[in-house]
Amino acid sequence: MPEDYPYPVLKPFRKMPGLTKLVAAGARLIGQHPVAEKLERLYRFQKETSEESQRDILDNVRRHYPGNTRFVVLPMELSAFGYGAPEMPLSAQHDELAALARDPEVGKSVIPFATIDPRADLQATELWRAIDKLSFRGVKLYPRLGFAPDDPVLMAHVYPRLEKMGLPVMSHCSRGGVQGRYLSDHWADRYTEPEAFIPVLRAFPKLRVCLAHFGGQRDWEAYANPDQYDPLDDAYDRNWQVSIRRMIGSGDFPGLWTDISYTLFQFEDYAPFLRMFLKGDDLESKRLRSRVLFGSDYYMTRQEKLSEKAVCIRLRNALGEPLFRQIADENPTIWLGEA
């Protein structure tokens, strides 16, 4: 992360996570228990971000899963979204991830993806170095940083070869997350919404694209609690969760996938809806359950009450073993191009 993100005034808290714990204790002392609880979860998140290496974070998440679990690891390119240069450039981040994938103890559990911000790499040189020389297995995009999915750089230098090589794309698809410093919420949403990928899906029909987070928590909340939203609210009127289900269910976009990472950490609120969407006998439901991936978005989940293991086991119980096996094992194998 660049030093000034998200605000320069927070630098002391980033350098000394104990300050967050101290403020949480003060909030609890004056009776602000909900605030204290949020700050304590933020402190857990900060502790995770202060780990010395990607290997340390991988070791932390592996404790929540069976020993043969594999993880798609997604880097971030944050040099061009308006907050200055990160301390570690993307090439070094890719190199560290490649070394993790070669680690004799844990390397087999790592599926590394490369990333690109097309404004920072007009020829996609670093991305193809990671794929061609470091054997990365796919590409992560984050349009909310300030670029469209059909950016000319991506359309000319990224998608054609990815489609030819059979490598997948993961793209952030939630109204929350990291956002370009000078980007309005309106344009951040327009770059990130499911429909923004339609030109890509039509131009490259064999490209496998996963829209992460199944639209995100705000849109799931608006779907689950419509009486709490103004009909003109964008999350209600142009609900991304509904859009993704319709686009996949229509059969018009055979390369479109989605995942439930982070969104389902509000488990009690949303798991019944996911079960209903995936259990149907109609053709739309069948298409959808063949295109949904299990995911977590660790370490973001460290901010939540439930642990990785708790959400995984609850979801396994709620969906039933065959359906959980499909989204956690069978579908990812196909999406990654291993089937």
Q: Are residues 13 and 107 in the same domain?
A: no
Confidence of residue 303 (pLDDT cuts 50, 70, 90): low
Strand partners, 259: 293
| Residue 301 pLDDT greater than 60, yes or no | no
In this prediction, residues 189-200 reach a mean pLDDT of: 98
The first and second tokens of residue 138, run together, are 């796919």
Find out whether 59 and 106 touch, Cβ atoms under 8 Å: yes
- Residue 287 CB coordination number (10 Å): 16
Question: Kindly report the CA angle at 79 between 87 and 5, in degrees rounded to 5?
Answer: 70
> What pLDDT does residue 158 have?
98
pLDDT: is 14 or 197 the higher one? 197
Instruction: Say how far apart CA 295 and CA 310 lie, in whole Å.
Output: 13
Q: Which residue has the tokens 């359309």?
A: 155
What is the domain-level CATH number for residue 201?
A: 3.20.20.140
Least confident of 78-87, 177-186, 304-313: 304-313
* Total domains in the fold of the chain: 2
> What pLDDT does residue 171 have?
98
Residue-number span of the structural domain to which 293 is assigned: 53-335
Least confident of 64-73, 174-183, 294-303: 294-303
Confidence of residue 159 (pLDDT cuts 50, 70, 90): very high
Q: Are residues 177 and 322 in the same domain?
A: yes
Confidence of residue 35 (pLDDT cuts 50, 70, 90): confident
Instruction: Say how far apart CA 245 and CA 136 lie, in whole Å.
Output: 29
| Residue 74 pLDDT greater than 60, yes or no | yes
Instruction: Say how far apart CA 323 and CA 316 lie, in whole Å.
Output: 8
Q: Are residues 177 and 247 in the same domain?
A: yes
Q: Are residues 65 and 3 in the same domain?
A: no
Q: Are residues 207 and 115 in the same domain?
A: yes
Q: Are residues 73 and 175 in the same domain?
A: yes
In this prediction, residues 138-148 reach a mean pLDDT of: 98
Q: Are residues 101 and 34 in the same domain?
A: no
In this prediction, residues 180-201 reach a mean pLDDT of: 97
Confidence of residue 299 (pLDDT cuts 50, 70, 90): low
The first and second tokens of residue 137, run together, are 């297995």
The mean predicted confidence, pLDDT, of the chain is 91
Instruction: Say how far apart CA 212 and CA 197 lie, in whole Å.
Output: 12
> What pLDDT does residue 19 have?
85
Indicate the residue among 31, 50, 69 that finishes a domain. 50
Q: Are residues 119 and 176 in the same domain?
A: yes
**CA separation, residue 243 to residues 160, 170, 220, 236 (Å):** 25, 17, 11, 11
Q: Are residues 175 and 285 in the same domain?
A: yes
Strand ranges for the chain from DSSP E: 71-73, 110-112, 114-115, 139-141, 169-174, 209-215, 256-259, 292-293
233-277 pLDDT per residue, tens: 888 899 999 999 999 999 999 999 999 987 766 767 888 999 999
Confidence of residue 302 (pLDDT cuts 50, 70, 90): low
> What pLDDT does residue 46 have?
76
| Residue 300 pLDDT greater than 80, yes or no | no
Q: Are residues 90 and 5 in the same domain?
A: no
| Residue 220 pLDDT greater than 90, yes or no | yes
Instruction: Say how far apart CA 303 and CA 28 lie, in whole Å.
Output: 18
Instruction: Say how far apart CA 3 and CA 6 lie, in whole Å.
Output: 8
Confidence of residue 232 (pLDDT cuts 50, 70, 90): confident
| Residue 319 pLDDT greater than 70, yes or no | yes
> What pLDDT does residue 166 have?
98
Q: Are residues 149 and 10 in the same domain?
A: no
Q: Are residues 34 and 84 in the same domain?
A: no
Least confident of 17-26, 88-97, 176-185: 17-26
In this prediction, residues 177-195 reach a mean pLDDT of: 96
Least confident of 20-29, 276-285, 321-330: 20-29
